[in-house]
Structure 1
Amino acid sequence: MISFKGSHYPNDVILYAVFFYVRYAVSYRDLEEILADRGVHVDHATLNRWVVKYASQIASEAQKRKTRTGRSWRMDETYIKVKGQWMYLYRALDKQGQTLDFMLSETRDEAAATRFFRQTIVNNGWPDKVVIDKSGANKAGLDNKNIELILHGWYWLIEVLQVKYLNNLIEQDHRFIKKITRPMKGFKSVEAATATLAGIETAHMIRKGQLGTTKLSAFQQFAALAG
């Protein structure tokens, strides 16, 4: 359960503000006006603190509670501007388009790719097949995981396919993330970017029906992750 200890606002107000920001293409000042129209007066700096504090915690719960994902993966990166510099958002889906995992990285290299595949495997289990682009770094990251399997005496390896057109699914999926981040015009810190992107990915997972509680509204599903 997420703690709201010390907050001067009701929990549902905080959760609504965080959800609205990560689900819709608004700036903090836009959200400040939207909430004021509903009788909730909170400044944009406080809204920022709420997102940074709670979005990652909610995303962690979403990873634990999401429905089972497939073992045929699609992996790719997109670009996110942080402190005026481009960083890399690693993302992976299964072949049905369900979100597997995501990771923000300052680098796009073998070490980052290996770290991302390690994280994704921990959260989703081992894949049978992974489709990637022509990136040598991503191929090296998967080769490292296959080496681990060999060293542990496994008799099967991850099949790696470097076929660009097969990755259209995840390239299209990037568009939702970019649509939400565009009004934000970049992030001022890695911490803020990481938390906000985790919240955006969680809202996107809910939109896809990955929490399996379709009788609840999207906001109710998001709020339930905090309980």
Structure 2
Amino acid sequence: MMTERGVPVDHSTIYRWVQKYAPELDKQTRWYRQVPDWQARSWRVDETYIRVGESGATSIGRSPTVGMPWFLPVPKRNVAAVKRFLAKTLRSNTITGFPRVINTDKAPSLARAIAELKSEGICPQTVEHRQVKYLNNVIEGDHGRLKRILGPKGAFKNRTSAYRTLKGMEAMHSLRKGQGAMFAYGQPNPDAVIVSRVFEAA
């Protein structure tokens, strides 16, 4: 886009823009991306693998289709990582409250983490844990979209840059899927309208 306008921009400049503005984009558009309370009561949790540095990290995330796309890059796919992610999500999701049901695949670490969070009082006993793989087809599709954007290497230099970049990507994906469109009703590109509005206000 910048080249078309005759403005030479180095790739490192684009990188710095992403690191600075992606978290701000996520923060400023959160209000627009809220979903109805009844819809946010069903969570979908899954994990996918991305490379960070010389090793790898697992980005464990809740489906963006039911509200805010929470994710957390962690070094290992284990019970501790799942507990850390779910505890953060449960504590942060104060607007819509606790979920009615958490949908996961049949990974043992997910079941054990949810059971431990219930025993520790972090997750209410009333929350149902449903292990049915096909219910997470939507979030599996989001993983595929993420991998296509990142390309075949799909690597970040460090966990901080991965976290910041993913924040912006998930925020824009939510808006492009129509979350928040009601706040730009009748506009041909509601996602662009919302982004322009929030940054003008900021």
| TM-score of the aligned structures, taking structure 2 as reference length | 0.82
RMSD (Å) for aligned C-alpha atoms: 2.4
The yes-or-no answer on 1:107 pairing with 2:76 is: yes
Alignment equivalent of 1:176, drawn from 126, 142, 145: 145
Consecutive aligned runs of 4 or more in structure 1 exceeding 6 Å deviation? none
Alpha-carbon distance in 2 for matches of 1:209, 1:225: 16
Match for residue 195 of structure 2? 222
- CA gap of 1:134–1:183, structure 2 versus 1, over 3 A, is closer
**Is the counterpart of residue 207 in structure 1 residue 180 in structure 2?**
no
**Distance across 2 between alignment mates of 1:130 and 1:225:** 32
The Cα offsets for residues 130-184 of structure 1, whole Å up to 9 and x where unpaired, read as: 11112222122212332244x89x6x42111112222222112212211111167
% identical equivalent positions: 33
Structure 2 residue runs without a partner (length 5+): none
User: 1:24-70: CA deviations, max 9, x gaps?
Assistant: xxxxxxxxxx4122122221111111111121122123334422252
Specify which of 12, 17, 22 is matched with residue 55 of structure 1. 22
TM-score (normalizing by structure 1):
0.73
Deviation, structure 1 residue 90: 1.0
State the 1:80 CA deviation.
0.9
**Cα distance between partner residues in 2 of 1:167 and 1:104:** 19
Q: Which residue type is aligned with residue 193 of structure 2? A: Q
State how far apart, in whole Å, the 1-side matches of 2:40 and 2:150 are: 27
Paired residue type of 1:195: R
SS, match of residue 70 in structure 1:
helix
The equivalent residue for 1:125 is: 97
Distance 2:8 2:169 in 1: 24
- Higher deviation after alignment, 60-69 or 160-169: 60-69
Say whether 1:138 aligns with 2:117: no
